[in-house]
Structure 1
Amino acid sequence: MTRILIRTGGFIPNFKCKYSTAPKSVATIQIAGKEYLTDNYTNVTPKILSYLNRNLHLRKDNPLSLVRQRIVNYFYSSFTHRGNPSFSVYDNLSPVVSIKQNFDDLLIPVDHPSRAKSDCYYVNNSTLLRAHMTAHQSELLRAGLDNFLMIGDVYRRDEIDSTHFPVFHQVDAVRSQRKEQLFENHPGLEIFDPTFDPSNPFAFPISISDPAKQSCHTLEAAKLMEAQLKNHLLGLVKALFGTEIKHRWVDEYFPFTHPSWELEIFYDNKWMEVLGCGIVRNEILANAGPNNSIAYAFGLGLERLAMALYKIPDIRLMWSEDSGFVSQFQNKNVNAKITYKPVSIYPQCTNDLSFWLPPSLTIDTFVHNDFYDLVRDVGGDIIEQVRIKDKFVHPKSKKHSLCYSIIYRHLERTLTQVEVNEVHKDIEKAVTTAFNVSIR
């Protein structure tokens, strides 16, 4: 799932973060007024922490907020109970979560690559900045909720280019139903296979070997939920992109759903992945409390949708305070057709950075995301892209070398080569210190 409490109980309004040293020389980090111990897992940086509490998805002048509201409106209008919306919305949950919330509760294996330090921003070995909004799924199920949307910022270490940023925004959702709801018109049908006892769900392991369903479910329940899921999500896509949009479903694997699919649409002459979805693993429901229902879940990224809908060419623009950008989305009807018009096009500056690795590292063991984070911390938002240009092993000395191209561009003014060179020198110094490399 993209990659699948109290509404206002997450953030402390005046966010501050700082590093400090507690008694006995134990390093700590303070986030939103709470202090966390640091350890060898800690890799969250001050630059990344500076993005917390920005809440772009709630700012009315931001394209992410427009798309968020369109999605919420669709679910509010499509699902009602006695005149009230069936779905509840949670859009201000704290982004600091536990390993249990982000991985264990979702059945993500301990050796799964998504847990790696190279992929996540860890506060310490038991806490991280959430990598997906699905991290809140189990706590909301435990609170007794059955239909809900989770919306917020998520954090992943990644490459640097026009479509990738270490912070982005997701909408995840769960819709669960009991037998009397799912089979309202067919009371003789059952959600669970006769061999499975929902009151004792852990009596024997649940198999997902059948591509059509989990072994605990009847085929009728699985197929009806699949039909509902696909109809509801196709309705959402048509509400966003128009009723004539072409689409296709692609079989996929996610640890927390089975069966699972991705929905792709044909947009701008190419197939574009829109969301991931599936039938929630029954173990997750049973662990969280509900043992008499079946549920579907989905997750999608707001940036991808906003960039497609409004023709926004660079993901960094979502964070821009420039009035020329902001004014294009201010006081707009959420359903308005908006095409972003560049205020100005500023030139790129490209500098290469080559260095020899120390004997303890090779071109295969060096973690590129560590380098990307350092470049972003030093260069800030003028870093447009970082890409590997060359890998080299000296034939005689056997020393390993890497060369990166760093592309600089300011979104609101022209950068001079002189100021870019100064930033580039600072990056060289930081790289030398952080990784014990030798600049070539």
Structure 2
Amino acid sequence: MSHFALCRWKACSRPSLTFLFNGRLQLRVARFSSPATQAKVEVLGQQFPTDDFTNIKPAILRKVSAQLHLKHAHPLNTLRKLIESAYPDFTHAATISPLVTPFKNFDELSFPLDHPGRAKTDSYYVNRDMMLRTHTSAHEVEMFRKGETKWLLTADVYRRDEIDASHYPIFHQVEGAQIFTADAAGMREVEADNERLAGILASAHIAIEDTPHVSPANPVQPEHDPVFAELVAKNLKLSLNNLMLTLFGGVQGISKENPLRVRWIESYFPFTSPSFEVEVYFQDEWLEILGCGVVIQATLNTAGVPNKIGWAFGLGLERIAMVLFSIPDIRMFWSEDERFLSQFEDGKITSFKPYSKYPSCFKDVSFWVSQGNTLHENDICDLVRDVAGDLVEDVKRIDHFVHPKTQRTSLCYRIHYRSMDSSLSNEEVNVIQDQVISRLQEHFDVEIR
């Protein structure tokens, strides 16, 4: 979800990995050069000077222009359009550049200075003054400042993260928001919309487990009229209940006897108050779908619309698409294999049918961490991903040991390799693993055990 959920690198020559059309892994020699060791780095055709904050890798740069959410018949594109269909009178934005300033990504949204998302271990920096957005909320102030009062924004976002079947450094979010004039006329507009939405839901097969719109644990902001805040929170809930029907009603086979079950949970986000999470009962379990709430007044003040009050929500497309399309591994969204792509039609939700399950191959790497070196797990994952790309299925730390005499720290990571398109031989994986070990030694000054 958007803000509702929230390296050292040297230039060297080594083999790089590529697939030929026959699907077999081949090797070619290429020169990898770290953006951090170059004077400039190119992102989307623009040149930026590098500095000590530069940590963006070639593996990420190669995918910045992909925009899967706009790719014809792609599951993420189909899901985006389905969400937009629930808000036909909203402005729909989907092509905004991922390059933003840290001020725009964090400060405009009142992120505290010590928020972990600001760290280089969590975010991709082009340099100190430019980064890849970590959430679609980075454009919230921008949209309000432009005069947009109701909008949806879909975009790719970037976070340095762990590696497993449900995490990927690039994913996609939808941010939605609507604001009203904070006066009697604006509240009449809200009441009329509430009546309209309630009428739609009254005839739908949906069972809603609600929570109070406001409560002592989920309070109205001091700047807001409590009556106005409650009306806006109700509008938010009605709107999103309708969205849940749009997303899940058509694939669940709901009926009067078997309605779509939605439940609201009081939550806390530093960017909204009152705040909520929404869950849907789907395939015999409760799924967390999104976070939302009444926008904090500081955001609206920063956007130059202090006389407004409104709501916002954010959700992750991959998370929902993996459920609706029965896609088991988040890497598959990036597949170019026709056996994957040909299964989907534009505008239709169909269950993915596995065409093969190639065996995985795991390799362990153990090493001593050099004295005084702070090694973050995201640094390890980012390095492995940059070497192996989408051939790495997951990376898990399986041992952590501190020598009682020397106080040296030993770490052991297990790396699972699996191609989605062909079988990997042990020899092929050994070549990749050797590159991982070489990079660990070069970049983090570790001693392999």
**TM-score strictly above 0.5:** yes
Among 317, 320, 330, which residue is 1:302 paired with? Answer: 317
Among 274, 295, 315, which residue is 1:280 paired with? Answer: 295
RMSD (Å) for aligned C-alpha atoms: 2.1
User: Residues 68-114 of structure 1: CA distance to partner in whole angstroms, max 9, x if unpaired?
Assistant: 010011111xxxxxxxx2x1111000001011110011011111112
In the TM superposition, residue 253 of structure 1 has moved relative to its aligned partner by 2.1
User: Residues 124-150 of structure 1: CA distance to partner in whole angstroms, max 9, x if unpaired?
Assistant: 112210000110111111111111111
Q: What's 2:198 paired with?
A: none
In the alignment, the residues of structure 2 paired with residue 151 and residue 131 of structure 1 have an alpha-carbon distance, to the nearest angstrom, of 13
In the TM superposition, residue 19 of structure 1 has moved relative to its aligned partner by 7.1
The 8 Å contact of residues 177 and 310 in structure 2, kept in 1 or not, is answered as yes
TM-score by length of 2: 0.83
The 8 Å contact of residues 19 and 28 in structure 1, kept in 2 or not, is answered as no
The 8 Å contact of residues 191 and 231 in structure 2, kept in 1 or not, is answered as no
In the alignment, the residues of structure 2 paired with residue 399 and residue 375 of structure 1 have an alpha-carbon distance, to the nearest angstrom, of 23
In the TM superposition, residue 21 of structure 1 has moved relative to its aligned partner by 9.3
User: Residues 418-439 of structure 1: CA distance to partner in whole angstroms, max 9, x if unpaired?
Assistant: 1001100111001110100011
User: Residues 297-345 of structure 1: CA distance to partner in whole angstroms, max 9, x if unpaired?
Assistant: 0000000110000110000000001001000113x4x2x3411101111
Percentage identity across aligned positions?
43
Q: What's 1:9 paired with?
A: none
Among 219, 226, 230, which residue is 1:223 paired with? Answer: 230
The 8 Å contact of residues 367 and 448 in structure 2, kept in 1 or not, is answered as yes
SS at 1:53 equivalent: coil
Query: Is 1:384 aligned to residue 393 of structure 2?
Result: yes
Query: Is 1:137 aligned to residue 140 of structure 2?
Result: yes
Q: What's 1:2 paired with?
A: 2
* Aligned partner letter, 1:329: F
In the alignment, the residues of structure 2 paired with residue 186 and residue 88 of structure 1 have an alpha-carbon distance, to the nearest angstrom, of 21
The 8 Å contact of residues 159 and 369 in structure 1, kept in 2 or not, is answered as yes
The 8 Å contact of residues 19 and 30 in structure 1, kept in 2 or not, is answered as no
In the alignment, the residues of structure 1 paired with residue 125 and residue 378 of structure 2 have an alpha-carbon distance, to the nearest angstrom, of 13
Query: Is 1:37 aligned to residue 49 of structure 2?
Result: yes
Structure 1 residues 184 and 57: alpha-carbon distance in aligned structure 2, compared to 1, 3 A threshold: closer
Structure 1 residues 3 and 20: alpha-carbon distance in aligned structure 2, compared to 1, 3 A threshold: closer
Q: What's 1:51 paired with?
A: 63
Q: What's 1:204 paired with?
A: none
SS at 2:372 equivalent: coil
In the alignment, the residues of structure 2 paired with residue 231 and residue 283 of structure 1 have an alpha-carbon distance, to the nearest angstrom, of 25
In the TM superposition, residue 219 of structure 1 has moved relative to its aligned partner by 1.2
In the alignment, the residues of structure 1 paired with residue 237 and residue 421 of structure 2 have an alpha-carbon distance, to the nearest angstrom, of 42
Q: Across the two proteins, how many residue pairs are aligned to each other?
A: 390
In the TM superposition, residue 251 of structure 1 has moved relative to its aligned partner by 2.0
Q: What's 1:268 paired with?
A: 283
SS at 1:359 equivalent: coil
SS at 1:75 equivalent: coil
In the TM superposition, residue 235 of structure 1 has moved relative to its aligned partner by 0.9
- Structure 2, unpaired ranges of 5+: 5-31, 193-214
1:196-345 superposed matches below 5 A: 211-242=218-249, 244-330=259-345, 332=346, 334=347, 336-345=348-357
Q: What's 2:10 paired with?
A: none
Structure 1 residues 402 and 88: alpha-carbon distance in aligned structure 2, compared to 1, 3 A threshold: same
Query: Is 1:106 aligned to residue 109 of structure 2?
Result: yes
The 8 Å contact of residues 218 and 266 in structure 2, kept in 1 or not, is answered as no
* Aligned partner letter, 1:95: P
In the alignment, the residues of structure 2 paired with residue 287 and residue 28 of structure 1 have an alpha-carbon distance, to the nearest angstrom, of 32
TM-score by length of 1: 0.85
* Aligned partner letter, 2:385: R
Q: What's 2:205 paired with?
A: none
In the alignment, the residues of structure 2 paired with residue 385 and residue 409 of structure 1 have an alpha-carbon distance, to the nearest angstrom, of 9
Q: Which moved more, 1:240-249 or 1:143-152?
A: 240-249
- Structure 1, unpaired ranges of 5+: 5-17, 77-84, 188-207
